């Protein structure tokens, strides 16, 4: 495997992946780009390799469940996290494009209170590692999108928290046309303000 980890101070190799370590806005978050093997027949890549991934992330835990969503243009899901059973997530789009957003709600994190947004698409094949304790959501910016993500703990509705997508303190800048509101669930519409959400 050739997994390349780039940060201001370190770079080392595993196989078949390039990983940008510590996204500047969110401590511990990774952007992962798999190596594509293409020829006139099509293409192939490893979407996940347990040994390489856990060496890169530095975790001993395993993934507990996989989730798969389908959404149409303008659907916004989030911003979610679980308080009692925090989930690390490995996120990718297998069709369409999304604007993926993370907000750091870990009080002891050097990036506490910051948000980070990045486009992820089936064409660029990027994957995002989102560490536990970080709120996560996304907006569909193509006609439709399918999103897959692996989670390090099981879904626990009793401890789920939703930070309001448009909270002014979090200040997320969603790529929405002027005057257009996203399509959100009733649950997400009742999301809490930054001051009201419990933090880690």
| Tens-digit pLDDT profile for residues 52-83 | 787 777 776 689 999 999 999 999 999 999 99
Please tell me the least confidently modeled range out of 30-39, 66-75, 88-97, 184-193: 30-39
Known catalytic residues are: 80, 149
Residue 115 pairs in a beta bridge with 103
Task: Give the integer Cα–Cα distance in Å for 113 and 124.
Answer: 28
- Look at 108 and 35; give whichever has higher pLDDT: 108
d(CA 13, CA 138): 30
pTM of the model: 0.88
The CA distance from 68 to 79, in Å, is: 17
Beta bridge partners of 34: 17
Q: Could you tell me which residues come within 8 angstroms of residue 186 by beta carbon, excluding any fewer than 6 positions away?
A: none
Mean pLDDT of 15-24: 60
Residue 84 neighbours by CB under 8 Å, 6+ apart: 156, 158, 159
Domains of the chain from N-terminus onward: 60-189 (2.60.120.10)
| Residue whose structure tokens are 């880690």 | 200
107 pairs with which residues across the strands? none
CA pair distance 137, 31, nearest whole angstrom? 16
């Amino acid at each position: 495997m050739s997994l390349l980890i780039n940060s201001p101070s370190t770079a080392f190799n595993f196989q078949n992946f390039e990983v940008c370590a510590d996204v500047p806005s969110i401590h511990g978050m990774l952007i992962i780009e798999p190596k594509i093997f293409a020829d006139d027949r099509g293409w192939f890549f490893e979407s996940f390799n347990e040994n390489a991934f856990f060496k890169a992330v530095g975790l001993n835990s395993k993934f507990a469940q996989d989730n798969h969503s389908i959404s149409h243009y303008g659907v916004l899901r989030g911003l979610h996290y679980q308080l009692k059973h925090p989930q690390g997530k490995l996120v990718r789009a297998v069709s369409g494009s999304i604007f993926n957003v993370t907000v750091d709600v870990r009080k002891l994190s050097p990036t506490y209170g910051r948000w980070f947004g990045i486009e992820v698409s089936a064409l660029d094949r990027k994957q995002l590692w989102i560490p536990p304790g970080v709120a996560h959501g996304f907006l569909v910016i193509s006609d439709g999108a399918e999103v897959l993500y692996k989670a390090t703990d099981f879904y626990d509705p009793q401890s789920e928290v939703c930070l309001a997508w448009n909270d002014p303190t979090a200040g997320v800048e969603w790529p929405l046309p002027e005057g257009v509101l996203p399509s959100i669930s009733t649950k997400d519409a009742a999301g809490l303000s930054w001051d009201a959400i419990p933090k880690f």
